[in-house]
Amino acid sequence: MNASVSPENCPDGALEAFCATGICCGLDKSDAAQLLAMAQPVSFIAGSRMVRHGEPSRGAYVIRKGRIEARLTLPGGGEKTVVELADGSMFGEMSLLDNGQSIASVFAVTNVDGWFIERNLFRALIAGRNPAALAIQRTITSGLVARLGIMNGELQRQIAPEDRVVSVSAPIGDPLADTPRKISSNFDYQRFLSLLPFFAGFTEDEIDCVVASAKILEVSRGQWLFSAGQPSNACYLVVRGAVEANVYIEDCVRRLAVLGPGCLVGYMGILADTPHNANTVARENSVLLEFSATAFMALYRGTSGAEVKTQHAIQCNLLQSLSRSYSQLSRLVTQARLSEALQARAVRAGI
């Protein structure tokens, strides 16, 4: 960040207000002042649309004062409010992590004052491995992990016609306790690592640096990796094959995702320091890289080139999960509304 920016150069009251927002959690005043220096003050009147669903995202908004709503656009028409935020909160932070489109529309419920942080400026700080920017990036990631947890909780409250009856009980204890960890594999996986989306942009030396802390797991179709409620002691990068993430809802099982090569599994519990909140089972014979929670957090908190790129890869996996959950929730809410409308029509028609 620009070393010439200091707390004394900031507008009266602005720095104190900015420091009180969530994005400055853990930052000292000097670092907060330099982040504020690249933030653009913005204001919106009540009722105005601040962000439109589907438009290219450019950066994040930090709310100094006011209240906003984020609304999903439903496939069948209409909207659903998914989050409400007020003073000190931030939205659009996903765009600080990667390029993409806005996954929801955002409206000012009251008059809103705040700041806009442009993505390209922030990413330049990350590329320079600025410690304050990296700390902010981790704060954003923690907030997105919490948001995904809320979103998945809402998903589980929706009725899904594709739910299946549970046919296999979740294992008690660690299902991989007897699975050997290896340092080599019959499958020459190292030749393919550079092709995985997770390692996009990595040099061969950086890939070697990351996988040096991992163990190799070869699992058969149907093998459980972990179950909901189990301690988050490790996460897994799929190198070959595929795994299914699902949850048990009463006597039904709901598939959340099928994750193939390049996808990271089980990392959210480590980031949130909570047990796993879903089950994961191998859909086919698979080769995985296992990272212990300690090794994973060392990569996540590091500042070397390989570690910073790993953090970005983790965040891209998180953004994909959020997008997937938003799409599933939008579909299920639309189906529920359509079903209710058809039932109401049938009642009126006396059927």
- 263 and 234 in one domain? yes
- How many helices (H) and strands (E) the chain has is answered by 9, 17
Strand extents, DSSP E, 278-321: 279-282, 286-292
- 308 and 166 in one domain? yes
Phi, psi dihedrals of residue 307, rounded to the nearest 5°: -70, -40
Looking at residue 3, what is its pLDDT? 40
Residue 351, in any domain of the structure: no
Looking at residue 2, what is its pLDDT? 43
- 203 and 138 in one domain? no
Among residues 155, 181, 211, the one where a domain terminates is 155
Predicted model pTM: 0.81
Residue 340, in any domain of the structure: no
Contact 21, 88 (CB under 8 A): yes
Looking at residue 327, what is its pLDDT? 83
Element (H, E) at 44: strand 39-44
Distances in Å between the Cα of 244 and the Cα atoms of 113, 196, 205, 264 are 43, 18, 31, 12
Looking at residue 251, what is its pLDDT? 87
Could you give the CA distance from residue 80 to residue 75 in angstroms, rounded to a whole number?
A: 11
- How many domains would you assign to the chain? 2
Residue 110, in any domain of the structure: yes
Residue 344, in any domain of the structure: no
Neighbours of 204 (CB within 10 A): 11
For the segment 133-156, what is each residue's pLDDT rounded down to a tens digit?
A: 888 888 888 888 888 888 888 888
- 124 and 43 in one domain? yes
Q: Which residues of the chain have pLDDT under 50?
A: 1-6
- 199 and 277 in one domain? yes
Residue 329, in any domain of the structure: yes
> Angle between the 293-301 and 305-348 helix axes, to the nearest 10 degrees?
110
- 164 and 145 in one domain? no
Looking at residue 4, what is its pLDDT? 45
**What's the token pair of residue 178?**
């007897």
Looking at residue 24, what is its pLDDT? 84
Neighbours of 160 (CB within 10 A): 17
Residue 2, in any domain of the structure: no
- 174 and 220 in one domain? yes
- 185 and 89 in one domain? no
Q: What's the domain range around 328? A: 158-335
- 248 and 289 in one domain? yes
For the segment 107-132, what is each residue's pLDDT rounded down to a tens digit?
A: 999 999 999 999 999 888 888 888 88
Residue 272, in any domain of the structure: yes
Among residues 121, 155, 189, the one where a domain terminates is 155
- 201 and 79 in one domain? no
Residue 342, in any domain of the structure: no
- 28 and 126 in one domain? yes
- 247 and 324 in one domain? yes
Domain containing residue 173: CATH number: 2.60.120.10
Among residues 96, 127, 155, the one where a domain terminates is 155
For the segment 29-46, what is each residue's pLDDT rounded down to a tens digit?
A: 888 888 888 899 999 999
